[in-house]
Amino acid sequence: MNTEMRDTVNSVFCEVLENFAFSFASTLAPEESELPQEGMLCASMEFHGPSGGRLDLLAPEAMCRTVAANALGAFDEDEVTEETTMDTLKELLNITCGNLLTATWGTGPVFDLSIPSAGMATPEAARDLVGDPESSHFVVDDDFTVILRLTCLEPDTNGAARVAS
Amino acid sequence: MGLTILIVDDSVTVRSIIAKTLSLMDLPIDSIEQASNGRKALEKLHDGWVDLVFTDINMPEMNGLELVHEMRNDEILKTIPIIVVSTEGSEARIETMRELGVPYIRKPFVPETIKHVIEELLGAYEH
C-alpha cells in the first residue's frame, strides 16, 4: 500500500469513528501497539467494483462496547448487549469501507459491498493482523489499540480476485 | 392518529440509533417498527400501514435498492415515503434513488440530518 492510500485509510477511519461514536482515534507506530491477549473481536468484509479488496478490523471487545454505548447514547455500558457490541464493530467497518471507497475512487464508480462478518479473534488471526506491515495501528480514546488492514485485490481472468502484489 | 415508522437495516445498532433519534424529535409517532432486511420489511408493509420507511442498502436476502423498487412497483406501497440511510457513495445509485423521489442520508449521520430530511419529506407529503 502506498503512503497516500495509507493516509486515506487512516484519516477515513479516524473521521468515521469520531462521527459515528464520538470516539477519537490517532495513528500509532506498530511497535507501540498494546493488544490484550484475550477479548479481541475481528470483523471483515470485501468490496468489488473497478477495484476489489478486503478490510479487516481487530479491536478489543471492551472498546467495541464503549463505542456501542457512545453511538447509542447509552448512559451505562451494561445496557449494551453482546450482540450489539459485535454488531457495532461490523457497522463501524461497513461505514469505514463505504467512506474509504469514495475517498479513494470518488463518486463515479459503483462498488458492491459484502455483508460484514465478525467474531472473536483467534490468536493466530490477531497475530497475522498485528504483524502485517500493511496494517494501520490506532489508539482509540487514549486507551484501546485497534488494527485496520486494507488488502487490495485484483480480478483475474476468470473473475475471481487475488491478492495484489 | 400518529405515525408508524419502519426502520430497515441489518445492523441493530443503526436501527436503535435511528429509533432513538426519532423518539427525541417532535413527531407524533405511534409506533416504530424494525426489520433486518428488505424481505422482512415487505412482510411488515403488507401486514399493516406504515407512514414512513427508513432503509439501508447493503443488507442480506433483499437489499434496500430492491426494496425501494418493490415498493414503487406496488399499487398500495408506492406512495409511502422512503428515506435511504447508507454508506453508498456512488453518484449513479444516488441519482437513481433521487429519480424515484427517495432522499438519501449518508452514514455516519448526525441526528439533525434525519430531522431535516423528515421535515422536508413529511412537510411536502399529503397523508
CB B10 within 8 A of CB B37: yes
In the numeric block, which cell numbers belong to residue B89?
Answer: 457513495
Q: Do B12 and A84 touch (CB under 8 A)?
A: yes
Q: What is the pLDDT of residues B4-55, one digit of tens each?
A: 999 999 999 999 999 999 998 888 999 999 999 999 999 999 999 999 999 9
Q: How confident is the model at residue A155 (pLDDT cuts 50, 70, 90)?
A: low
Q: Do A88 and B13 touch (CB under 8 A)?
A: yes
Q: Which residue of B has its CA nearest to A102?
A: B89
DSSP single-letter state for residue B107: S
C-alpha–C-alpha distance, residues B112 and B125, integer Å: 20
Beta B52-55 vs A161-163: how paired, if at all? unpaired
To the nearest whole number, what is the mean pLDDT of chain A? 89
Q: Residue B34's CB: how many other CB atoms inside 10 A?
A: 18
Residue A83: list chain B partners with CB under 8 A: 12
Q: Which residue has 488488502 as its cell numbers?
A: A151
Q: What is the pLDDT of residues A91-142, one digit of tens each?
A: 999 999 999 999 999 999 999 999 999 999 998 999 999 999 999 999 999 9
Q: How confident is the model at residue B109 (pLDDT cuts 50, 70, 90)?
A: very high
What ipTM score was computed for the predicted complex, to two decimals?
0.91
Q: What is the pLDDT of residues B75-105, one digit of tens each?
A: 999 999 999 999 999 999 999 999 999 999 9
Query: Which pLDDT score, from 0 to 100, does residue A159 have?
Result: 44
Q: How confident is the model at residue A2 (pLDDT cuts 50, 70, 90)?
A: confident
Q: How far is A42 from chain B (nearest CA, A)?
A: 16
Residues of B with CB under 8 A from a CB of A: 10-14, 16-17, 20, 58-60, 86-94, 106-108, 110
Q: Do A109 and B90 touch (CB under 8 A)?
A: yes
